Amino acid sequence: MDKKGFSLIEILILIVMAGILLPAIIVPFVTGVKGSGKPEMATTAMYLAHYKMEEFTKFKYCKTTELDPTALTFYASITGFSGYQWQWSIYYVDSNLANPVLTPNSGYKRIIVRVKDPQGNEYEVYSVVTRF
């Protein structure tokens, strides 16, 4: 019995063990590969939010219609970025910068820019513009 090789029982045991272990290895790998695009989408969404915020904050507090108070806009598609959408709002706020007020005498305007990525996750950027 000096013949080398595998017996039928050894091959069957290998097949059964592979059938048990392979799914346990493949499922986390596939899940990790599916989520690998999320950091790139988050970075792109935050870039777009900051880009829009820079557009708003380049204007002075007064003497411009670009910073007039605006209720939260509807989501709009972003040209050149498929699947990304943004919306924004501008409010007068009190000295705590939290509570919206109706009067422009507060001296503060809060700008909120919200970007939604293709997976539906939302990212927000806040800023305050003052006349002082």
Sequence ranges of the domains in the chain: 39-130
Query: How confident is the model over 17-62, as pLDDT tens digits?
Result: 999 998 888 888 887 777 667 888 889 999 999 999 998 888 777 7
CATH 3.40.50.410 assigned to domain 39-130? The reply is no
d(CA 128, CA 126): 7
d(CA 127, CA 117): 21
pTM: 0.68
Determine the 3-state secondary structure of 84 from DSSP: strand
d(CA 100, CA 108): 10
Mean model confidence pLDDT for the chain: 85
Structure tokens at 114: 């919200």
